[in-house]
Structure 1
Amino acid sequence: MKKLNKTIALLILSIVLSNCTSTKLTEAWSSKDFNDTKSKKLLVVARSNDLDVRKAYENELVSELKEQGIDAVAAHVKFPNLREGKNRSQEEIEAILSMFNKNGIKSIILTALKDTKIESSSVKSPTDYGTASIKGKYGVSFTDYYNVHSIEYISRNLKPVYNDNLSENNFVLSSTTYILEAVVYDLTLERDKQLVGVYEIEASNPSSSKKVLNKFTTLISKQFKR
């Protein structure tokens, strides 16, 4: 009987989570300079330590942006030796910016996994244990973000977290929301004006990481529609 109840509970859990699946744009901000930035050569950088994931996000977003008429290029293609690193010195970042400038890069879009929220509740007595999303500090320049901004790297494991705390009389539902961001900087502007766009997308209980990738890149590219 206990085994049967657990099986039924798991079935209910699966149905509930599948009905809650959604991916939506939750934040969209752009400065008055954003429209001018659309006409400049754009470098697409996906922040991930997994090279396959990085390539997938960069390639897909470049493809979507080109459909919008944007001159976009993937960082792993243009700069194959560029790697993620923490606590870079000012000299290292200046060298990276110089490299971008020599190759005609005038603007950058950085994508990353900003946060993960898990909300749990009992089917018998719903209770929300979710934590509020903390708004990121993007800084005002590319240097600020690239060296200081604290984010999670995008991984290939963007999927719901299931709580296996099941019993005959009660079980817990867990809802997982991934918050991804895309931040746009115009390197031709003065340092305190380089931040020209911030976009946030929430993917709740995604059925696969591929669907998150496809929906994320589609929603972001639409912000560049000319």
Structure 2
Amino acid sequence: MRRILYGFIGSVLLLLTSCMSSDLVENWKNPEIDLFAAEKVLVLAMTNDVENRQRFEKKLVDELEKKGVNAVVSDQFFDKEYTQRPHTQEELDLLENAMLEEGFDAILVSKIIGAEDRKSLLQSYDGFDTLFNSFEEDYYTNQKIYAEDEYMDVYTVYHAESALYCICPTKERETIWKGSIDITQPESTRKAIKDYIKILLWVLEEQQLLIINDGKGI
């Protein structure tokens, strides 16, 4: 039954991501947590690109609020100068206490952790489902492979990561969930953000995290 369930989830995810620039690579959920319903979530994108950080956080907050989750962008909590220098563990402890005083009980953090260039055999892949009647037909159709520059496509894959942490008085920023998502050849930054958030929310819902108090998922 578990294999069937995993296969079903995988099929749904494949359909979801087939026309998107983001793909779920892996995700981990704290085995000690079945459900998690936060009263107030701080959304934080860690990047020095202020414009795209604000765009990402606002889009994610808007989508969460549509689903009944009380979420807040980081600019409403952090001072403008806060990210301008590194902070000590003691300072972060004070920050967590400030979050608790403001009613936050969870923080959803997202960031780009790396990038790599890849090559795609576009023409070869395009013909994968073609059934050739003969060797001559196969060779004639695919002989452009010998001219590598004509069918090799170089593209960049960005490796991103999101994590949901509990801001709890009795625990030290306990990890509730963590996921890795690859971003590939987005048509635009706006589409990349939209696709990433769609995958992120889908996974959180499947894992029964950030559910609203009436018991319905996000």
Give the TM bin, normalised by the shorter chain. Answer: 0.5 to 0.7
Aligned residue number for residue 64 of structure 2: 65
Aligned residue number for residue 152 of structure 1: none
Q: How far 1:68 sits from its partner (Å)?
A: 2.5
Aligned residue number for residue 190 of structure 1: 171
* 3-state SS in 2 of match to 1:98: helix
- C-alpha RMSD of matched pairs (Å): 2.8
Whether the 8 Å contact between 1:43 and 1:107 is mirrored in structure 2 is: yes
Q: 2:189 aligns with which of 199, 209, 214?
A: 209
Instruction: Give the TM-score of the pair, scaled to structure 1.
Output: 0.62
Amino acid at match of 1:66: E
Distance 1:121 1:65, change over 3 A: closer
Using the alignment, how far apart are the partners of 2:120 and 2:200 within structure 1? 32
Distance 1:176 1:79, change over 3 A: same
Q: Deviations over 1:186-210 (max 9, x none)?
A: 021523x700111221122222111
Whether the 8 Å contact between 1:75 and 1:82 is mirrored in structure 2 is: no
Aligned residue number for residue 55 of structure 2: 56
Aligned residue number for residue 107 of structure 1: 106
Amino acid at match of 2:35: N
Q: How many residues get paired?
A: 163
Amino acid at match of 1:219: I
Higher share of residues assigned helix = 2
* 3-state SS in 2 of match to 1:110: strand
Sequence identity of aligned pairs in percent?
Answer: 22
Whether the 8 Å contact between 2:99 and 2:167 is mirrored in structure 1 is: no
Q: How far 1:170 sits from its partner (Å)?
A: 5.0
Using the alignment, how far apart are the partners of 1:66 and 1:116 within structure 2? 31
Using the alignment, how far apart are the partners of 2:186 and 2:33 within structure 1? 34
Whether the 8 Å contact between 1:68 and 1:222 is mirrored in structure 2 is: no
**Gap regions ≥5 residues in structure 1:** 1-18, 124-168
Q: Flag the structure with larger Rg.
A: 2
**Gap regions ≥5 residues in structure 2:** 1-17, 123-146, 206-216
Q: 2:161 aligns with which of 181, 185, 194?
A: 181
Using the alignment, how far apart are the partners of 2:121 and 2:38 within structure 1? 51
Q: Deviations over 1:2-52 (max 9, x none)?
A: xxxxxxxxxxxxxxxxx997422222221232622x333110001111221
Amino acid at match of 2:200: I
Equivalences for 1:22-33 in 2 at 5 Å?
22-31=21-30, 32-33=32-33
Using the alignment, how far apart are the partners of 1:103 and 1:122 within structure 2? 52
Using the alignment, how far apart are the partners of 2:175 and 2:71 within structure 1? 18
Whether the 8 Å contact between 2:44 and 2:74 is mirrored in structure 1 is: yes
Q: How far 1:80 sits from its partner (Å)?
A: 4.1
Using the alignment, how far apart are the partners of 1:53 and 1:70 within structure 2? 22
Q: Deviations over 1:162-213 (max 9, x none)?
A: xxxxxxx65353121112111110021523x700111221122222111110
Using the alignment, how far apart are the partners of 1:194 and 1:222 within structure 2? 22
Using the alignment, how far apart are the partners of 2:34 and 2:41 within structure 1? 12
* 3-state SS in 1 of match to 2:201: helix
